[in-house]
Copies of this chain bind each other. A is one copy, B any other.
Amino acid sequence: MSHPQHAALSIVGEEDSAKRRQILDGARAVFMDLGFDGGSMGEIARAAGVSKGTLYVYFTDKNALFEAIVEQEVLEQGKSAFNFDPTRDTEITLKEFGTAYIQLLCRPGGGSSTRTVMAIAERMPEVGQRFYNNVVALTIGRLAAYLEARVTAGDLAIDDCSLAASQFMMCCQASLFMPFIFQAAPAPSPEQIAEVVNSATRMFLAAYWRR
């Protein structure tokens, strides 16, 4: 029993045969491009290079396959290691994190996972929740922990570090993410990102830097 046979939603210890991976790769490409409804099982099969029948050997149905994709995305993005060394310089840390974060969020064809999950959240709330909790909230939590450390270190004066973390992340998105996700602007250039992140950092430190 160490092969497929429906691992269902077990968050950890997913079966990972080559076929399964192949399917997930194809499915990700299709779902992220076309969305849940827009992508068909046929296209996924073609993209994955397997037969349609095989899809159903590894996943009970389209929903399960989609959930697995999101899960994978969650795992992967959750792994995004930002440098939150608590002893590191605050300004540098914030700028580097902000840049990496926006680059991740706005990479060409990469708002896709955010968009795709947002899109389905009304119909598949658990999927939206998992994505939020394990990607967005996780990152907020990590940044919050870093901020807490800087508070302790005496650099910053913050009441609610979680809120502050969220504020910083949203500030970094200002003028970049919304146009990008609404297709009103292409992916931002490194220069644009730098400018916005610098401004966000300045604002953040102006508000929270220990006076």
B121 pairs with A118, CB closer than 8 A = no
How many residues of chain A get a CB closer than 8 Å to chain B's CBs?
52
A108 — which chain B residues lie within 8 A by C-beta?
none
Q: Which of A36, A123, A166 has the most CB of B within 10 A?
A: A166
Q: Name A119-146 residues within 8 Å CB distance of B.
A: 119-123, 125, 128-129, 131-133, 136-137, 140
A132 pairs with B174, CB closer than 8 A = no
Q: Does A104 contact B (CB under 8 A)?
A: no
A202 — which chain B residues lie within 8 A by C-beta?
207
Quote the shortest CB–CB distance from A111 to chain B (angstroms): 9
How many Å lie between the Cα of A37 and that of B202 in the bound state?
Answer: 43
Quote the shortest CB–CB distance from A177 to chain B (angstroms): 8
A125 — which chain B residues lie within 8 A by C-beta?
183
Q: Does A60 contact B (CB under 8 A)?
A: no
A140 — which chain B residues lie within 8 A by C-beta?
175
Chain A 63-92 against B: per-residue CB contact (8 Å), 1 yes, 0 no? Answer: 000000000000000000000000000000
Q: Does A25 contact B (CB under 8 A)?
A: no
